[in-house]
Amino acid sequence: MDFFYGQESLTAIQWILRAIVSFGFLLLATKVMGRRSISQLRLIDFTIALVLGNILAHPLSDEKLGLEGSLITTAVLTILYLTIVLLSLKSNTFRKWLEPNPFPLIKNGEIKYKGLTKARITLDHLLSEARKASIEEIDQVALAIWEPDGTISFFMSPQFQPLTPSDMKMVKSPFCLPLTVIKNGKVEYKYLKQAGKDITWLENKAKTLNVPIHDILLATIDSNEELKVYLYK
């Protein structure tokens, strides 16, 4: 455990052990904080990511610094992060301060310059995001909103929206996600049962196609009970 404390010098093995412990502890802290910290880099998430990375980086580059202080600080910051998230869920006032309400950047084809100033973005950035959303002209946008996570949501004017089946009075069947019953040559019994089928049915289907199950990369069942098979290439 000498690698855990500050030393005048560390061996290669001790550096490796420090890296393993720090990496494992950071993974654990991220797991405790939840998927939100991964999928949404809002104000608090961005702040905690910067701080945690900086704290754990120092003992990984300076042998005179021990790991104990960094791990304790990381644990405390993780608890504070969870506390702030819980407060934001329970308190509307705190949540509005932490994650301000979205506001418009474009409304009825007109650019709201005050919104650009409030979001601290340039007109060039707005136009770039519009191009990424395949928007040719700003006057085609009914509403563009600056979201708390720093992204822009675009809503097209009705006359520029693509036709949908409901516009054409067409009735479509409900969406149903196909179930994966074979993956990497192995049967997914849980989803096979969920589809109302058994292994005998699946084996018979495979025999009909003259393909052994272990040669199937992926097989799915749709709402019409049709089996789609993808083989190893």
3-state secondary structure of 120: coil
pTM of the model: 0.54
Grouping H, G, I as helix, E, B as strand and the rest as coil, residue 154 is strand
User: Best-predicted range by mean pLDDT among 30-34, 69-73, 173-177, 190-194?
Assistant: 190-194
Give the N- to C-terminal CA distance of the chain in Å, as an integer: 49
- pLDDT for 44: 67
The Cα 45–Cα 37 span in angstroms is 5
Reading phi first (left if > 0) and then psi (alpha if -120 to 50, else beta), residue 148 is in alpha
Range ranked top by mean pLDDT from 14-28, 55-69, 153-167: 153-167
Q: Read off φ and ψ for residue 183, nearest 5 degrees.
A: -140, 125
pLDDT at 227 over 60: yes
pLDDT digits (tens, 9 = 90+) for 99-144: 778 899 999 999 999 999 998 899 999 999 999 999 989 999 999 9
Report all structural domains of the chain as residue ranges with CATH numbers, in order of start: 2-95 (no CATH), 103-160 (3.30.240.20), 179-231 (3.30.240.20)
